[in-house]
Chains A and B, each alone.
Chain A
Amino acid sequence: NAGVMQNPRHLVRRRGQEARLRCSPMKGHSHVYWYRQLPEEGLKFMVYLQKENIIDESGMPKERFSAEFPKEGPSILRIQQVVRGDSAAYFCASSPTLGGGEAFFGQGTRLTVV
């Protein structure tokens, strides 16, 4: 049973470009969470999704950031018109059911905006 898979592991974008980060949850997991870790800081919750639904996006910046978890395929975190301040590690976690199990983290995508 493969773990939570994120790709790419490292992503470099120029200011103004778009960044797409992918997360495939563990098999059997239907809940996905995205977190952002700025340098030297802890992880901050961004968004919680189930298939085809955004459940809680209270941690998402109001502009340029969006997330989806389609019926088929991975969850996508999309950042439009990236700025230097978006440089961070973005982690995805998945869990089997709401409150029914521990969330497991992927390896993260390290985004660098140049």
Chain B
Amino acid sequence: ELKVEQNPLFLSMQEGKNYTIYCNYSTTSDRLYWYRQDPGKSLESLFVLLSNGAVKQEGRLMASLDTKARLSTLHITAAVHDLSATYFCAVSGAGGTSYGKLTFGQGTILTVHP
């Protein structure tokens, strides 16, 4: 059974600081996703990582994937208040009908303080 674990689960940051959220998963997978969710809202897709060593950046967020270590990171640079949200990583199954079925981490609640 595929398990996905994120840490930390709660992250309180000061504006301007850097931090990293970690996502570990238990079995081989073909792709990893990062999503953002604001309270009461749906999931906004941030990144899709498809291969070992993949790195993607958008604004103050950068995601990377190490398939050998089964680890993805979401790095936040110079945090601003607008980044406050819950961040989820999700992993799809490896091939066949498991492809579209995502297993989500518990989520990391990020709060950025002035």
Contact = CB atoms under 8 A, between A and B. Distances in A.
B104 A42 contact: yes
Contact-residue bracket for chain B: 20 to 34
Given A41-B106, A99-B95, A91 B43 contact: yes
Contacts of B101: 33, 45, 48, 56
Contacts of A69: none
B99 interface: yes
Contact of A91 (B33, B42, B97, B103): B42
A108 B25 CA distance: 26
A106 B43 CA distance: 8
A55 B100 CA distance: 11
Contacts of B99: 98-99
Contacts of A108: 42
